[in-house]
Structure 1
């Protein structure tokens, strides 16, 4: 049955290369490699501010978060197997027409997606560091070990969220119980041992002191989580048929201050009834950020007392901007083509839905500020988070329109996005560390955010919408 996996890999290549060209898609890992290669030459300068061990923690945390962000296959299982990718008919739907078990097909789909993420994101970065190591005086064994541990970090994050999302699709009370147990273990370790549970992360321990036991432990955890997640997979939602009350009219009335209340209400109702609001918030937002907070808190000795909170607000703002993907992932313009609705009108409705969802990061940052004893910096943290989120949204609308989850693999789009976001993040980081309340100036980002959004309205109204 290896033929099915190979066919899925070819299908993935053909889908993306058809959208924006084979060369452009093939250059994506080259771009990541080049960023890693050039960035490696900054390591000697960064070591003056942070020890090498703390830098490795940040890098492992980033790849763990990447795994978290892409690993919620349990939420997407029904979408994958029930042909809800817009107008695309994928091989994963073959369970409906071929004598193949649905669980087997879904396992191949997950492995294929995981391989693609490793090839596109993990290996190019590692190769860039490996080739740069002779020029910066780093023994080649270090980047080789880092390649192994970063891969394990990514897979650990992916399989953990895959497992949790699969449990969520089966039983929400069971997921709640698991999260309570994990929180209790982490809290107990912090109180009794006086240490940060992030240091128990197997790939980090493996990087700090390589041993075959740590390697076996890391691999065993990943394999067990993956196998259990596949066993829990179900293409059909469990439980009895749901009956829901009419929500469109009252919700549209509450959203009447937006330009397109019915469309915005429709998006929010779709997410609510499909479980997307709770599921995406939990697996694509809360869990990754809670883990990132533990990793960032390890830098308390190297940053000002308020530094971790404000840096965390920047990270939260970037992740919160991906909520635009939540409301566009399975909604193409084709379904609206017969209505008197322009592309820009539909995008505006998505922005309205996105704005409502920003209550989630606002509440989250407020709780983090209070619980960490940094409530005095709550307002600067909120301004920083929401300003970065809406600025990133404006750029996303301009570059990707209604297809952010697809066009991100266009090299030109991704490079432009990274440059425009990266410059702002570096400037804001420098300013807020010097004077925390200067973060209030980040509200000025709403001006370029609105400008980029208007450019996007004009750009996508003038283009024929693709069918994917």
Structure 2
């Protein structure tokens, strides 16, 4: 196992450093640490509006969602291997040619992902926060506590999605049944009013009150799904011959009014015919949104008076911007090299595909408004969703072009990305300015 783990760590580093260069990728954690430090310094400015407990909850939600994204390997493993790194012989496929069991490989893979991404994200974030604690009047020991609790939140998301994606690899019906049972249980608990911070996010409860009970619950929620995933994992995706009718031209004809019809039709067919089809996209989109909605219902207890629908719509706009990543994730742009097609044409087509795909988050927003009694604030929420989504998309396209899934791991690109969305920090100056403004009399 140690040899396999080290081989996977080297493989992960070589893939990233080959794309960005060793220095560009090595500086990525430093960028995370610097922005965590600067962000922590602003906490006192917002303390009267956003208490520290609420900020900590948002941080734990962020790392939970990050674990969800990392844990989706089992859900898209076949395509990720064949379509992006088809020219490479990855260690994760060693069971096909070497006397190494799938369980051993997947166990090492989970450990590698745990260590690798904790070093990449969690440790730098906690280090930046710890460095800021002396300047904002917090105990330096909170940095270590934050590292442990955020790592648990990340691992919680990773292990749960690994478990669900393992079920998917075994049987789509099994995944659907399990998801239905979990949804019914969550709805029942919500109706009974039994949703608490400890129930929703035990790592966060451990951060607030570092006792044995929330730590034990957090470890169980990490270890049990991970153990089940390792026991029942399958890395061998059977080869199946798939045949489809020629749908490109008929679909492009129906989309002709949008322009770039064949490009949009190709994107739609890629999503529908990819492993898991549209279900994969819906699962990877709706599951994080469900977590966000539940956590928001908890968050409003800390900040009474906020409208959860408007806050949800802003977060929905950020998450929906990742649809652009889906549209470019597995596309091989070398296939356009021999065609009379410019990069700008492909980007324009991706943006139009993004607009069509955005009907899904729009439907989610309508459903959230209808079920939460927030119809009165629907239009402000819609405006927040549209503006946040458009701005985040514009920044992503400008900085990463057709390669957002890899370019955002380059330290320089990631730094510029964070700086581009940092105007939100001007809120603190705005509050200070208008606090001192005297209302003129009439």
Return the TM-score normalized by structure 2: 0.88
1:363 Cα offset (Å): 0.3
Q: Alpha-carbon deviation of 1:424?
A: 5.3
Q: Is the 8 A contact 2:252 2:261 kept in 1?
A: yes
Tell me the C-alpha RMSD between the 2 structures: 2.7
Residues 405-434 of structure 1 show CA distances to partners (whole Å, capped at 9, x for unaligned) of 111111121111122223258769x99xx9
Contact 2:64 2:157 in 1 (8 A): yes
| Higher mean C-alpha displacement, 147-156 vs 40-49 | 40-49
Q: Residues 404 and 91 from structure 1, CA distance in 2 versus in 1: closer, same or farther, beyond 3 angstroms?
A: same
Secondary structure at 2:112's aligned position in 1? helix
| 1:190–1:197 CA contact under 8 A, matched in 2 | no
Kept in 2, the 8 Å contact 1:57–1:204? The answer is yes
Shift of 1:195: 3.7
Equivalent position of 1:179 in the other structure: 179
SS of the residue aligned with 2:235?
coil
Give deviations 1:305-356, integer Å, cap 9, x for gaps.
5632112111111111111111211212112222222222222232222222
Report if aligned partners of 1:86, 1:331 keep a CA contact under 8 Å in 2: no
Please list every run of 5 or more consecutive structure 2 residues that lacks an aligned counterpart in the other structure.
Answer: 435-442
CA contact (8 A) 2:102 2:235 kept: yes
Aligned partner of 1:437 in structure 2 is none
| Deviation, structure 1 residue 301 | 4.7
Matches within 5 A, 1:421-460: 421-423=421-423
Counterpart of 1:49 in 2: which secondary structure?
A: coil
- Aligned pair 1:353/2:353, yes or no? yes
Question: Residue 10 of structure 1: CA displacement?
Answer: 1.7
Alpha-carbon spacing, 1:276–1:417, altered in 2? closer, same or farther (3 Å): farther
Q: 2-side partners of 1:152 and 1:225: how far apart?
A: 13
CA distance in 1, matches of 2:336, 2:87: 13
Tell me the equivalent position of 1:372: 372
Counterpart residue number, 2:393:
393
What displacement does 1:156 show? Answer: 0.2
Q: Where do 1:232-271 residues align within 5 Å? A: 232-237=232-237, 243-271=243-271
Query: How far is the alpha carbon of 1:381 from its aligned partner?
Result: 1.7
- Aligned residues of 1:306 and 1:374 also touching (Cα < 8 A): no
Shift of 1:368: 0.7
Distance 1:328 1:425, change over 3 A: farther
In 1: Cα distance, 2:415 partner to 2:277 partner: 29
Q: Who is 1:412 aligned against? A: 412
Please tell me whether the aligned partners of residues 64 and 157 of structure 1 are also in contact (alpha carbons under 8 angstroms): yes
CA contact (8 A) 1:34 1:128 kept: yes
Cα gap change, 1:51 to 1:425, in 2 (>3 Å): closer
On the 8 A contact 1:306/1:377 being kept in 2, the answer is no
User: What residue is the counterpart of 2:20 in the other structure?
Assistant: 20
Distance 1:312 1:195 in 2: 21
Report 1:300-315 matches (<5 A): 300-301=300-301, 303=303, 305=305, 307-315=307-315
| Greater relative contact order (Cα < 8 A, sep 6+) | 2
Query: Does the C-alpha gap of structure 1 residues 7 and 139 become closer, same or farther in structure 2, counting only changes over 3 Å?
Result: same
Structure 1's unaligned 5+ residue stretches are: 435-468
Equivalent positions of 1:328-343 (< 5 A) are 328-343=328-343
Aligned to 1:281: 282
- Give 1:237 deviation, angstroms: 4.8
2:55 corresponds to:
55
Structure 2 residue matching 1:220: 3-state secondary structure: helix
Cα distance, 1:2 vs structure 2? 2.1
For residues 395 and 426 of structure 1, what CA distance do their matches in structure 2 show?
18
1:196 matched residue in structure 2: 195
Q: SS of the counterpart of 1:327?
A: helix
Q: Normalization by structure 1: what TM-score?
A: 0.84
CA contact (8 A) 1:60 1:150 kept: yes
Alignment of 1:41-80 (within 5 A): 41-80=41-80
Equivalent residues of 2:399, 2:413 under 8 A apart: yes
| Partner Cα distance (2:86, 2:102) in 1 | 20
- Which secondary structure does the structure 1 equivalent of 2:27 belong to? helix
**Distance in 2 of aligned mates of 1:135 and 1:306:** 29
Residues 112/426 of structure 1: CA separation in 2 closer, same or farther (3 Å cut): farther
Task: After superposing the two structures, state which structure 1 stretch, 16-25 or 358-367, moved more.
Answer: 16-25
Three-state SS of the structure 2 residue aligned to 1:50 is coil
Match of 1:318 in 2: 318
Distance 1:186 1:297 in 2: 13
Q: Deviations over 1:37-67 (max 9, x none)?
A: 2222222333322333323222211211221
Residues in 2 aligned to 1:196 and 1:309: alpha-carbon distance in whole angstroms? 19
Counterpart CA distance in 1 for 2:252 and 2:82 is 29
Structure 1 residues 232 and 335: CA distance shift in structure 2, 3 A: farther
Query: Structure 1 residues 100, 63: closer, same or farther in 2, change over 3 A?
Result: same
Write the mapping of 1:116-127 to structure 2, written as runs, cut at 5 A: 116-127=116-127
Give yes or no for the alignment of 1:403 onto 2:375: no
Shift of 1:269: 1.0
Q: 1:76 to 1:107 in 2, by over 3 A?
A: farther
In structure 2, relative to structure 1, the CA distance for the partners of 1:111 and 1:348 (3 Å cut) is farther
Contact 1:75 1:166 in 2 (8 A): yes
